[in-house]
Structure 1
Amino acid sequence: MCTPAGVVDLTTGRLRKADPQRDLHSRATSVTPHRMETPRWRTLLTDSFREDADGQKSIDYLQLMLGHSVTGEAGTLRFPFLLLDETGGVDRSVLLDTVIRILGDYAYVVPPAFLDARSFCSEHVVEPSELHGRRLIVCEASGVGGRLDERRIRLLCSDEPIKVRQASQGYCTFAPTHQLWLTGDRRSEVFLGKHTVWRRMRILPIAQTAPKGYRPDNLASELVREEGPGILQWLIEGARRVLEGREQPVGQ
């Protein structure tokens, strides 16, 4: 993973100087990882998932899910993640907004209309070339008319090579490296024949939310500015857990 200060080996967490001969990529995070205390990030997590044993399991699972996404090696585990907040709060938005800002070019936000089964939104709203090299694809699933377009979800979760037409250069093909994340406040209907997206989806519900006015409106920006390097280090640790083969985000 490219950062402003070099390239991180996600299997070890070590940072090395970028080599122009081997590190040919246009994506990079917005901050450089650094081991540091992240009290405000920790507070956001415990406020969302509680501080008890079950809450800690949810936080560990979130780290694993995000780490899985950061690796860019979804492989056979390519499935959509859903951060579900049935409390009606905004914690899910703050959580993912913070991660999106930290991952910089590696993250991409899809317009909600793209996954709305009742929308006439063109598939070209998401250009295939925009998916090249991404790690995290995020889409708000709430307010899409109650039904998501399973075909388009499968399109974003496919492990098939993506073919893109280049101006005056013919076509190029690249392997998908992204993971789809949905956020919502209820389980939207996703049906197609006898199968549902829910069978493959990994769902992490937010257990509680902070009282209205408890958080500043620009909390995500403040978290990136004050604790961004430490939060990126937390994400990298999640990736290491996955790549070491210790754990996989399944069964939740």
Structure 2
Amino acid sequence: MIKVLISMLAASSVACAVFSAPSRSQSQTPMSQVATPDGRKSLVVAGGCFWCLEVLFEELKGVQFVESCYAGGSRAGVSYQEVCSGTTGHAEAIRVVFDPKVIAADDLLRIFFTIHDPTTLNRQGPDSGTQYRSAIFYADEEEKARAERIRKEIADEKIWQNPLVTTVEPLVNYTRAEEYHQDYYAKYEKASPEERAKMNAGYCSAIIQPKVLKFRQKFAHLLKKSG
């Protein structure tokens, strides 16, 4: 069923541009210290601004939580400002923790290939640089094989006119993003007008919101029940 919906969603994807972020003093958590609950699986993907990917995956049945993060690069413990410089080699990414009895990793990856443009090299919408690349990060050979298989499947189905540029990379130097970035759009939806004035409200309403509404319509049968 998800394969059928892929063709419906394969349209130009608009990515996030983070205009500003407050300074932070928190430390980040390397992947080696992040535990996945028993019976759950996780995957790490990148496709432009993590605000956009995070909110979409969080709405899917079987997804326990989503964490905005940085992956790849030369070292762990990087900051948002460092990653935005484009010099560290990291990508803005998300870690999706899910119940494989409810939703399969294959299907999560198929969805991933429809909610961003996997054909634009180091760019999503207005965001450009290697930190905005399309990538799937693998923690073991099984995850690598799955990523390569689904990427080939999507390429063979030719739902995108141009060749895929999504990379399959080892998961190294994982760093949890600053708290400011976690659940950003969810915070925006719940915020008062006064609180929204302190956020990137224009970006949320013009870029993320249309993406969320489209996602909710096309994947309605896969979403968690609201309320």
**Structure number with bigger Rg:** 1
